[in-house]
A and B are shown apart, each in its own frame.
Chain A
Amino acid sequence: AQTVTQSQPEMSVQEAETVTLSCTYDTSENNYYLFWYKQPPSRQMILVIRQEAYKQQNATENRFSVNFQKAAKSFSLKISDSQLGDTAMYFCASRPVGRGSTLGRLYFGRGTQLTVWP
């Protein structure tokens, strides 16, 4: 099984500034994927960024980047040049790779509510 912990229930940042959301996880799997999902008030789950655990290079998607520290089991999300539209709940999630009963399932953290203010 895997557990995902997000220790910041709420965060706020001023528009155009940079903010980092924290996530730690625990797993016994050798290979897995890590994700950040965004959930705006529309409640649609939107994939923001993903990281394969066996890749050391940190993933980047435009203004979003991650700091993946495998030994520390840490997977933080950095949002640069924050925009009002980034206001949302952000979920960190992990997914084991391979066969077996855990195949395919996502393990979610409890979420961090990010508010971007003008």
Chain B
Amino acid sequence: NAGVTQTPKFQVLKTGQSMTLQCAQDMNHEYMSWYRQDPGMGLRLIHYSVGAGITDQGEVPNGYNVSRSTTEDFPLRLLSAAPSQTSVYFCASSTTTAGLGEQYFGPGTRLTVT
């Protein structure tokens, strides 16, 4: 199993540009989510999905869109990048069944918006 993969690892954008951060998992997990990590802020939830075709907003959704057409993929779209979106982005997945609830994280994408 590759686990959770994210591409790219690093990205620099100019203000106003758009891009998609890719996330894929091969563990057949129903639940997937996107977090952003900023210094001194911990990780904050952007969007999440409890299954294909179902998405919802998290704590900081503004400026981001998501879709979930397959169980495996959960891309995050920045429609018009802003300097405030400079951050490290993590994708995570887990099962939604009862259990210890561990979330598996991807390696992260460091995004800089100039």
A residues adjacent to B (C-beta < 8 A)? 4, 9, 33, 35, 42-45, 47, 50, 52, 91, 95, 97, 101, 103-106, 108-111
Contact = CB atoms under 8 A, between A and B. Distances in A.
B101 A97 contact: yes
A103 B40 contact: no
A104 B92 CA distance: 10
B50 A104 contact: yes
B14 to A, nearest CB: 24
B107 A50 contact: no
Given A43-B88, A105-B48, A91 B108 contact: no
Contacts, number: 60
A36 to B, nearest CB: 12
Contacts of A108: 35, 42-44
B96 interface: yes
Contact of A110 (B40, B92, B101): B40
Contacts of B61: none
Interface of B: 31, 33, 35, 40-45, 48, 50, 56, 58, 88, 90, 92, 94, 96, 98, 100-103, 105, 107-108, 110
Nearest to B43: A108
A96 to B, nearest CB: 9
18 contacts: A42-B107, A44-B107, A45-B90, A50-B100, A50-B101, A52-B100, A97-B98, A101-B56, A103-B50, A104-B48, A104-B94, A104-B101, A104-B103, A105-B58, A106-B35, A106-B43, A106-B45, A106-B92
B86 to A, nearest CB: 15
Nearest to A32: B101
Contacts of B96: 103-104
Given A33-B100, A33-B101, A104-B94, 6 more contacts: A43-B108, A44-B108, A52-B100, A103-B50, A104-B48, A105-B58
